[in-house]
Each structure stands twice: as C-alpha cells, then as structure tokens.
Structure 1
C-alpha cells in the first residue's frame, strides 16, 4: 500500500449567515440550510474571495453526526471563477458539539471535522484544479468554518 501524500492547497475562511433555515426533522435527520455570505481563500498557488450566494445543506443525523453538503463560487485574485463543492462530516462529544452550536470557541482537536472538496473551472490558469482530489481539515469559529485544504498527490 502506498502512503498517502499531500501538499497544502489553501486555507478557506467562510462567513455564514447566522440565520440558519431550520427545516426540522425529515426522514434522514434534522435538515438545516445555511447561506454562505462570503469569505477568503489563501494559498501558494490559489488566493481570492468566496462570493456570496453559496450554501451548506446540513443534515444532523440521528447518530449525532453533522453531514455537510456545500457549494461555493470562488473568485481568484486575478478574476477567474471556480466552483467548489464539498461533502464533509463533523462530530464529537455531545458537550463539545453543544458548545460549538452556541458559537463558543472550542479547541478543534476535541472534535472531528473533515471535508472532501472538488473543483470545477473553465479557467486555463486554474484548470489543474479540475483534476485533483483534495481533503480539508476544519474548525468552527463564530463567523463560520475554516478549512486547511490539501491536494492529495
């Protein structure tokens, strides 16, 4: 088995509207929808802003795991557009998750927060993103999630 290798791609900081739409219990769990209102991303080969209009279709499963389904539009510093999607999971001890839910600062080592981003762009400059797999390690701050995203080599 080959060891997994990666290199840093960027850090993404998202701003989320605090008014989360609560759809309530569905057959799959407690459904919530959060609007992404903006943000930034910064890395050696990639930097810019996250445009408003994205969202996170959250599902709090019956087992206590928060399942994320996120779609974003990123605009690079040199005006190229990138569509980014990711699915992810966040979970931890009930008291830690309650503190996160109240917007309190929590040490990210106390909970699991991982994502699997994919990118889509028509840009020749950033076309290399169309052919990579990435993983993100997240933390949650009051304004929204922060991810350290790595390209899997």
Structure 2
C-alpha cells in the first residue's frame, strides 16, 4: 500500500467574529446546549468580507467540558458577493482552562485545542473555487469575540 505525503496548508484569511452573550436552553440528551448569536465581524486575506449580523453558533458542551460547534454565518465581500460559511469545530483542554474560558478570561491559545472545518458555498463566479476546496482553521476564544486563522488544504 502506498503512503501519500501529508497535504500542505496555505493561508486563506483571518476572521474575527463578534458575539452576544450565550442563550442557555439547558441540558438535553445531547449535552448542555448554548446558542450564541454572531453580531458581526470581518474576514481579511485572500477573501475580504464583512460578516453579516445574524449568524449563530449552536454549541453542545459534553460532560468533560469539550465544546462542539455548529456555526452558520453569511459573508458579504468587498466586491458585493455573498458567501455562505458553515463550520463544525471542537474546543477542548484541561478542565481548569475550559473553566477560565467559560468565565470570559483571556486564555493563551496554546493552553487549549480549538480547530474547525469551514465549508463555503457561493453562487458568485469569482469565488466558485471556494465551493471546491477543503479548509481548516485554528481559533482563539476572547471575552467578546472569536478569532480564526483559516487555511486551504492543498
């Protein structure tokens, strides 16, 4: 069996999302649920866009404190295209670090694992290539926002 080399990553963009305080529906059979409204933000890099207010992050918190994200946002590019962006992600780490993040503290991202797998969808011909690539990102949770560095898997 042939072993293939690992794919390379190339920088796509940095993205910052501003968010509201979470809505807390409570524990369900899936885990503790949180819904966080995205109020705005921006993407800068190979794609330059503003985040249209109104997206959501539907979070499931597992028993061990690990957060599973399910996010849907809309991007409006500087050249007037609309790009839908969804991603699933995971944020985990030592319990005391997760508690500090939950309390709104500014925690060094080297202390926890925060990765996502963005998927883009657009009808804009100039951004059609986004429909045909895989992406990964690394995130950092700050008190009132979330920042990501997004990479294209080559």
- In the superposition, the TM-score normalised over structure 2's length comes to 0.96
- Which residue in the other structure is 1:61 paired with? 62
Counterpart of 2:115 in structure 1 is 114
Number of residue pairs aligned between Structure 1 and Structure 2: 151
Q: What runs of 5+ residues in structure 1 fail to find an aligned partner?
A: none
Shift of 1:144: 1.5
Question: Structure 1 residue 97 and structure 2 residue 70: aligned?
Answer: no
TM-score (norm 1): 0.96
What is the alpha-carbon distance in structure 1 between the residues aligned to residue 6 and residue 58 of structure 2? Answer: 33
The alignment yields a C-alpha RMSD, in angstroms, of: 0.8
Q: Distance in 2 between matches of 1:62 and 1:99?
A: 16
Task: Tell me the distance in 1 between the aligned counterparts of 2:142 and 2:93.
Answer: 16
Note the residue ranges of structure 2 that are not aligned, 5 or more in a row. none
The 5 Å alignment of 1:1-153 reads 1-18=4-21, 20-43=22-45, 45-153=46-154
- 3-state secondary structure, aligned to 1:140: strand
Q: Distance in 1 between matches of 2:63 and 2:41?
A: 30
- Does the 8 Å CA contact 2:52/2:73 hold for their aligned counterparts? yes
- Structure 1 stretches of 4+ moved >2 Å: none
Give the C-alpha shift of residue 63 in structure 1.
Answer: 2.8
SS state at 2:79 partner: coil
In structure 1, distance between residues paired with 2:24 and 2:70: 15
Could you report, residue by residue, the CA deviation over 1:9-31 in whole angstroms, capped at 9, with x for unpaired residues? 0001000012x111111001001
How far did residue 106 of structure 1 move? Answer: 0.6
How far did residue 65 of structure 1 move? 1.0
